[in-house]
Amino acid sequence: MPETITSRDAARFPIVASCTLFGLYLFFKIFSQEYINLLLSMYFFVLGILALSHTISPIMNKFFPANFPSKQYQLLFTQGSGENKEEIVNYEFDSKDLVCLAMSSVVGVWYLLRKHWIANNLFGLAFSLNGVELLHLNNVSTGCILLGGLFVYDVFWVFGTNVMVTVAKSFEAPIKLVFPQDLLEKGLEADNFAMLGLGDVVIPGIFIALLLRFDISLKKNTHTYFYTSFVAYIFGLGLTIFIMHIFKHAQPALLYLVPACIGFPLLVALVKGEVTEMFSYEENSTPKEEPGDSKDARMETDKKEK
């Protein structure tokens, strides 16, 4: 089920991320990098297969023939017995999901054996899509707090220390998208890469997804804020790459993505006079109960709103 990020979660996120990042840095400095990466490879091997299977399942369903045998399965894991029984895992799937799982396992074995950049990126994109799907922001203010905090986090750990770059280069796991810079010379065997952390995809991504839901809530049959923020992301990413090539130094992508992804939609809202609507939009909000309101009346109102 999707998890909603509140303003308190957003404020704590940069602190938790900083502790995690520095902890990984110390691990790589103290312990053998080979054994750490072996452990992480196995962990992300399992997670990557599940994430990729979940991602490609809706696409692959279109290619299965109508007479494909689709048997239903259920994976149920409970704790306790009788009235105290509690479900820990209750996952339903079918034969088509098993085919997708088998295909994803092939990619997983390819990644585990070769650490090929295409397999890495397939897993990385799957993690990103699942992250955007499962993490929701409850309002625009929370999104601004989250992006603003991670803006400071990214700038400090990239420009202020060598921690971010060291971890990114040492961490052999699909937590980043890699782009071969020598693709024309070496083809698929390229080994000189530029990197983009998945956080630079997921964090702006959940903010853009929030603006898409805000577009839908306006009921104007337009996706103005979604397209604006999407173009802003492309602009910010392009600016990051440009600055990186000019100064020949790793750049914190959020330094350029955050102002673009917040600034562009805010500018559009100012022009359209919808700033108040944007910041008052609350996801999963329920109207306050007025005196004299009955349960049946509220249910009838909910039906009309749906």
Question: Catalytic residue positions?
Answer: 154, 200
How many angstroms separate the CA atoms of 240 and 204, rounded?
A: 14
**How much helix, strand and coil, in percent to the nearest 5, is found in the chain?**
70, 10, 20
**C-alpha distances out from residue 44 to 93, 163, 177, 179, Å:** 22, 22, 14, 20
Degrees to nearest 5, angle at CA 98 with 97 and 104: 90
Residues 6+ apart with CB under 8 A from 161: none
Q: Are strands 176-180 and 193-197 parallel, antiparallel or unpaired?
A: antiparallel
How many angstroms separate the CA atoms of 269 and 208, rounded?
A: 14
8 A C-beta contact, residue 49 and residue 98: no
Q: Hunting for tokens 């494909």 — which residue is that?
A: 68
**C-alpha distances out from residue 188 to 109, 197, 228, 231, Å:** 18, 21, 34, 29
The residue count for the chain: 306
**C-alpha distances out from residue 146 to 7, 15, 16, Å:** 8, 11, 12
